[in-house]
């Protein structure tokens, strides 16, 4: 099943904390209930996105890894 999203953020090549900071900024520009797809290559981002979701109340709908790239779907609270 393909996850639908409203906006995409390419954070590939960025290291902590930039993927999270850019995600926070992108979510701030979105409406409640919209979904942001984030692409990242930093292996620490898996742990960071889980913590970010808990701290902010935004939902981490899905996370996966393909070819050393991490894909996150965040739903704006």
Of the candidates 7, 12, 14, 16, the residue annotated as catalytic is: 16
| Alpha-carbon distances of 42 from 17, 28, 48, 57, rounded to whole Å | 10, 22, 10, 22
CA distance 49 to 57: 12
65 carries an active-site annotation:
no
CB 58 within 8 A of CB 38: no
* Residues forming the active site: 16
């Amino acid at each position: 099943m393909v996850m639908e999203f409203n906006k995409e953020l390419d954070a590939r090549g960025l290291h902590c904390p930039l993927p999270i900071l850019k995600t926070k900024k992108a979510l701030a520009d979105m409406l409640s209930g919209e979904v942001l797809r984030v692409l990242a290559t930093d292996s620490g981002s898996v742990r960071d996105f889980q913590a970010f979701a808990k701290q902010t109340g935004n939902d981490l709908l899905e996370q996966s890894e393909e070819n050393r790239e991490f894909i996150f779907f965040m739903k704006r609270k």
